[in-house]
Structure 1
Amino acid sequence: MVMGLRRPSSGRRASPPGPDTSEAAAGEPRIGSLALALSLLLLTAGVVVLDVFTGDGLPLVPLMIVLPALASVFCTVRQTTWVAVWVVLAVVASQLASAGSFWDVVLLIGFTALACGLGVAACAARIRHATEVARLRSAAVALQRQILRPLPVLTRQVSAYGLYEPIEEDRFVGGDIYEVVQSPHGTRVIIGDVQGKGLPAIGVGFAALGAFREAAVREADLTAVAGAVEDAVVRHNVFSAETGEVDRFVTALLLGFDDGERVRCVNCGHLPPMLLHDGAASAVTLHRTSVPLGMAELSDEPRTAEWIGLPPGGALMVYTDGVTEARDPAGAFYPLDERLKRWAGCEPGEVLHELQADLQQFSGGVRRDDVAVLVLNRPTSGHDRAAPGGGGRTGSSRK
């Protein structure tokens, strides 16, 4: 269920969240039925042989009642039931062959059946709980995706290609946000990262995005757009405090594109963009960095905007810390500056494709944060330019 790279040449609609694979996986066996049967046969044979050698003084077959409990941790309900039935039959057979008293045999068989039944019930409870957790996790990721616009997005001033990979583990679901809005004042872009994880972080991200979408069209000045998002985050924190939630902030980078060769930028504690131009990649130096959104009252200085250059043929790459804080198995951070130089001369879609594959290989497939990346460049004369509001709900904005 990963929303990966989308290219404008696909011509396909942005696909909705896929089938609930995490929910299906909750009830899948962690051990094959054939391997389970062979293991059970070998274990039973070993216990019976030991039981014969130890004699009647130390019966070992009844100790097999622990097997359903172990199976309930790794197996499906059906597999656990097979194990339980096998253990009951093995104990019954061993007791019928013994010289014990009638009531001793009945009590032991009854206790075995009870223990095996509890093992099956425990397995059913485990799978039911895992399924419920998987549903909640999938709902959180689906909600996160519905909030964000499908990529790419094409406007009059910008072609925005993107990579977005949300974490699907419930405790790690993050609040990475992005948006591209065509306005009467040019194209406005935001990329941000909500502090914290889980559904509360998604709620803050939704509040920030809603405010940005309105203010980007309404406000002529980019700092006023940042102020509107700031107010929305503060209001959300006030509301959340009434339900016992902690205050959260949003690191964000706001960009304003017009028809010139410079880009307006307001940095709210976010990572600076990278400039891809003439086969080189370099970090853009930002001289005016303010506090994250939701923390303006802690600073005496108002937010200010600055201009950064975007030469013809160049592209700006903006991203969240899910990229820079990705780690390899040894704990080293992902060297974005170094790796990006390899693909700086490629097309935006190819840059994102290579970055996605390289991140996967570098981290060994283990991620602990969302990944959001946008590559922004000017539309070329060979591409159709999107209508205001660019992008829509399709994977292609061409007409």
Structure 2
Amino acid sequence: MGLQQLTATRGAELKGAETGEAAVLAPRVGNRALFGGLALLTTVIVLLDLGSGDELRIVPLLVVVPALVSVFGTIRQTVGVASWIMVVAVTSRLVTGGTFWDITSSVIFTVLACFLGVGACALRIRHATEIARLRSAAVALQRQILRPLPIVTDQVVAHGTYAPIEEDRLVGGDIYEVVSSPYGTRVIIGDVQGKGLAAIGAGFAVLGAFREAAIREPSLTGVVDALEDAVARHNAFSAQTGEIERFVTALVLGFDGDGRVQAVNCGHLLPRLLHDGVACPAPLRRTSVPLGLAELSSEARVTEWLDFPAGATLLMFTDGVTEARDAAGAFYPLDTRLGHWTHHGPRELLDALHRDLEEFSGGVRRDDIAVLAVRRKQSGSPMRPEDPDRGARRATEAFSGR
């Protein structure tokens, strides 16, 4: 979830809702099509009414039309339809005759039904406006929590995808960040225990601490220590407010441009290294406890080194990928599938992973998904995509299905 496409979508919805000229919760119907259909419907109903005789009156059924239009039309369209229906229904009732009370009650009922249709449309537009504004604010907030991908620094280019399991939210419990610092590029990918707003709060605490520590701390272990402190403070506050304390699995990497990468693994899944036609787990042998659980271990977190040659892709991911299941309950065979895509570029690799993951799971996601595909930046070349939002849009559209 880069989320540039969602941002554009929410902005369009907000604009339409504020002007009242577009239905936010449903596509707008053009005036020509709407009133052309209305004229045809009116003609058919009137002819049927004339053919049915005095015992069965069909024209009064037209009062439901403004209510139907209020579901998808604008206020102006609903008023136009209601006015036309009132004219037709009232004229028909006056022509057919009857007692004064029969005619009066019929006219009152018709006018009341049409006004109710217009009122329902106005309430729908008002509610849609509020929802669109809330979504627009959520997009702006999300962009402060998770930056759109891809992200380019002096050392690396990071492509990625992000998709929270709850489709009414733009942010879930998975986190990522790429920071350019005086000590090289620092990267984090993590997974907060649990789901919901509490998990998002813990993730935001980690991201805020990472953005500061990545620039301030000379060593990668110093960065991780700052993240541990941030989670501990967040948990202390959660305990005071009666919320559940959380831990965060995280993989923190440091790229300094010399062909090697530093790594501190805090209980996270091992990344995969794709190079020269081979895909294999990165050879990290030390896995520390997750962030927030340091007091349970007597061992300090240490830095390991990995070879990261030019042209290689380092794939980092959360357990939403490895724990995806098929209809029979089998887990997704990530390592087997990656062996078929070792010569793909980062963007093509992510696209292939998405298609295969969706086919394998039948489109059913059981957890948030975050994936980063990192490649060294070629010396002497800016390596900036022609459209830096293209990857974000494709990733968001693919995983979220919106």
- TM class by shorter-chain length? 0.7 to 0.9
Distance 1:284 1:241, change over 3 A: same
The corresponding residue for 2:270 is 272
Q: Which amino acid aligns with 1:190?
A: I
Per mean C-alpha deviation after superposition, the further-off stretch among 190-199 and 90-99 is: 190-199
What's the TM-score once normalised by structure 2's chain length?
A: 0.73
The corresponding residue for 1:388 is none
Per mean C-alpha deviation after superposition, the further-off stretch among 91-100 and 158-167 is: 158-167
Per mean C-alpha deviation after superposition, the further-off stretch among 303-312 and 124-133 is: 303-312
Q: Residues 250-304 of structure 1, C-alpha deviation per residue, up to 9 Å, x if partnerless?
A: 332111345665533333343331211002323336554455434556x446563
> Comparing both structures, which one devotes a greater share of its residues to helix?
2
The corresponding residue for 1:282 is 280
The corresponding residue for 2:77 is 79
Q: Is 2:13 aligned against 1:22?
A: yes
Question: Take 2:53 and 2:244, find their aligned partners in 1: how far apart are those partners?
Answer: 65
Within a 5 Å distance, the mapping from 1:144-183 to structure 2 comes to: 144-149=142-147, 151-155=150-154, 158-165=155-162, 169-171=167-169, 173-183=171-181
Q: Which amino acid aligns with 2:159?
A: G
Note the residue ranges of structure 1 that are not aligned, 5 or more in a row: 6-15, 386-390
The corresponding residue for 2:223 is 225
- CA deviation after TM superposition for structure 1 residue 180, in Å: 2.7
Question: Take 1:342 and 1:55, find their aligned partners in 2: how far apart are those partners?
Answer: 74
The corresponding residue for 2:301 is 304
Distance 1:87 1:395, change over 3 A: closer
- CA deviation after TM superposition for structure 1 residue 121, in Å: 1.3
The corresponding residue for 1:118 is 116
- CA deviation after TM superposition for structure 1 residue 344, in Å: 2.3
- CA deviation after TM superposition for structure 1 residue 63, in Å: 2.6
Q: What SS does structure 2 have at the residue aligned with 1:189?
A: strand
- CA deviation after TM superposition for structure 1 residue 4, in Å: 6.3
Q: 1:252 aligns with which of 241, 250, 253?
A: 250
The CA RMSD over aligned residues, in Å, is 4.3
- CA deviation after TM superposition for structure 1 residue 336, in Å: 5.1
- CA deviation after TM superposition for structure 1 residue 316, in Å: 0.9
Per mean C-alpha deviation after superposition, the further-off stretch among 18-27 and 66-75 is: 18-27
Matched positions, count: 376
Q: Which amino acid aligns with 1:210?
A: G
The corresponding residue for 1:32 is 29
Question: Take 2:78 and 2:363, find their aligned partners in 1: how far apart are those partners?
Answer: 31
What's the TM-score once normalised by structure 1's chain length?
A: 0.74
Question: Take 1:358 and 1:21, find their aligned partners in 2: how far apart are those partners?
Answer: 32
Distance 1:333 1:218, change over 3 A: same
Note the residue ranges of structure 2 that are not aligned, 5 or more in a row: 390-402
Distance 1:265 1:83, change over 3 A: same
Q: Which amino acid aligns with 1:251?
A: T
The corresponding residue for 2:398 is none
The corresponding residue for 1:140 is 138
Question: Take 1:306 and 1:218, find their aligned partners in 2: how far apart are those partners?
Answer: 17
Contact 2:28 2:73 (8 Å CA) reproduced: yes
Q: What SS does structure 1 have at the residue aligned with 2:98?
A: coil
Distance 1:107 1:164, change over 3 A: same
Q: Residues 212-237 of structure 1, C-alpha deviation per residue, up to 9 Å, x if partnerless?
A: 12323444553442232133234334
Contact 1:4 1:163 (8 Å CA) reproduced: no
* Identical residues among aligned pairs (%): 57
Question: Take 2:13 and 2:326, find their aligned partners in 1: how far apart are those partners?
Answer: 25
Per mean C-alpha deviation after superposition, the further-off stretch among 301-310 and 230-239 is: 301-310
Distance 1:103 1:195, change over 3 A: farther
